[in-house]
Amino acid sequence: MSYDTAMLKIKGLTLWPVLLIFSAFMQLLRDAYVDGLIYLIAAIVCVLLENKAIESLFVRLRIILAKPFHLVYICAFSSLLFIDVHTRPALFIFILLTPALILVGPQKYIETQNQKAFTRSKYILLGLAIALGLTETGSFLISVTGINDRDFPTISLILDPTLHHDVGRALLLIPFIYVGYFLLFSKEKN
Amino acid sequence: MEHISIGIYALIIATAVGVSILAKFRPQTIAPFSNVMNHVLSNKTNRFALTFFWWWIGWHFVGSPWPVA
């Protein structure tokens, strides 16, 4: 088992499906059934990705489709700034695009140069992610219990005023696309 | 109470920025964020899960009708 896989596994069980199923439950709590369903599908895809039997099916597709697929994906997301997608139906296409993109994307194992610094950094980032997740989950649970949600705002509630202005929306879209660019075009991957 | 909640979010962001700056000047102590992410993303399940969360954030925040009423 490679190191990067091992760090997200406990006794062979990858943690992603657990996290995604928990998130699906949270979505159902706020009556967002479509979001909940999407999270459940993502959890199933994560389980399938761990299955080595399907790996060989995508090897050839990766070589042929990886680069054009990335470009289509970035262009499609960028179009959100300019078009009235009337949201849900039009954006469902991304549900198909995202798993397909990962399956055809090139894979390369990256060796770590400085193991101590890497481990330290990994646990700091993991700690921050857990702190953010707990704060968001706590705020969300308090808001659904009927207490004034303004007292414990979730990230959505804090960002709402910004998203309701054209400039604010554009400013948030820029880092979002940048993160997506990093995820999809990371230089270290072949 | 609102300020406490926002303060926690601000503290998390400030810590992340601080760690990133420290990693830039002392990469032997703390590995840069991009190094960790490149390593984590070399596994396809990690890459799928993280790209999924990124996708959902876009769908949730940006995927409302445009222009916003």
pLDDT digits 0-9 by tens, B20-63:
899 888 888 888 888 888 778 777 778 788 888 887 887 777 76
Nearest Cβ partner for A183 among B2, B51, B60: B51
Q: Which residues of A touch B25 (CB under 8 A)?
A: none
Q: Structural domain tally of chain B?
A: 1
Band (A167; pLDDT cuts 50, 70, 90): confident
- Cβ(A151)–Cβ(B1) under 8 Å? yes
pTM exceeds 0.80 for this model: no
Tens of pLDDT, residue by residue over A178-187, are 787 777 666 5
- Asked whether residue B21 is assigned to any structural domain, the reply reads yes
Is there a domain that residue B60 lies in? no
Whether residue B57 lies inside any domain: the answer is: no
CB A129 within 8 A of CB A8: no
Q: Which residues contact A41 (CB under 8 A, 6 or more apart)?
A: A95
Count Cβ–Cβ pairs < 8 Å, chain A vs chain B: 184
Domain contains B7: yes
Kindly state whether residue B34 falls inside one of the protein's structural domains: yes
B22 assigned to some structural domain: yes
Tell me whether residue B19 is in a domain: yes
Of chain A, the end-to-end C-alpha distance in Å amounts to 21
Residue B2, in any domain of the structure? yes
Amino acid at A153: P
How does residue A131 score in pLDDT terms, banded at 50, 70 and 90? very high
Alpha-carbon gap, residue A155 to B3, rounded angstroms: 13
The answer to whether A87 and B4 are in contact (CB under 8 A) is no
On the question of pLDDT at A56 being above 80, the answer is no
| Structural domain containing residue B27 | 1-51
Beta partners for residue A13, in sequence order: A10
Contact B67 A121 (CB under 8 A): no
Question: For residue B49, what is the DSSP state?
Answer: H
Q: List Cβ neighbours of A5 (8 Å cut-off, separation of 6 or more).
A: B43, B45
Question: Residue B10 burial (CB < 10 Å; 0-12/13-18/19+)?
Answer: exposed
Mean pLDDT of chain A: 72
- Statement: residue A55 has pLDDT above 70: no
Say if strands A13-14 and A9-10 run parallel, antiparallel, or are unpaired: antiparallel
Smallest Cα distance from B24 to chain A, Å: 12
With 0-12 / 13-18 / 19 or more C-beta atoms within 10 angstroms meaning exposed / middle / buried, residue A190 is exposed
